[in-house]
Structure 1
Amino acid sequence: MGILLTVLGIVLIVSGVLGVLRGQLLWGIIAIVVGLFVAPGYFYGI
């Protein structure tokens, strides 16, 4: 389950960066923030 959340977080972060580069600033920022909340949960044991 933790690996799945990590992969989901990485996908969200990458899509957020791509969104920002394409000019979709709001979507990009939201995706990056959600990805950061999801991905590190695996490493901290949450």
Structure 2
Amino acid sequence: MGILMLILGIVLIVAGVFALVRRQMLWGIVLIVVGLVVAPGISYLG
């Protein structure tokens, strides 16, 4: 289960970066923050 959460977190972070590149600031920041919270081992909350 942990590996799936890690993959999901990485996908969300990459999607957030692409959103930032397309100048969708709010959506990109939200995706990056959610990706950091979801991905175990990357977030400071977990």
| Percent of aligned pairs sharing the same letter | 60
Any gaps of 5 or more consecutive residues in structure 1? Answer: none
Q: What is the root-mean-square deviation of aligned Cα atoms in Å?
A: 1.5
Any gaps of 5 or more consecutive residues in structure 2? Answer: none
Q: Which has the higher helix share?
A: 1
The two structures have a TM-score, normalised by structure 1, of: 0.84
The two structures have a TM-score, normalised by structure 2, of: 0.84
Q: List 4+ stretches of structure 1 deviating above 3 A.
A: none
Higher relative contact order (CA 8 A, sep 6+): 1
Equivalent residue pairs, number: 43
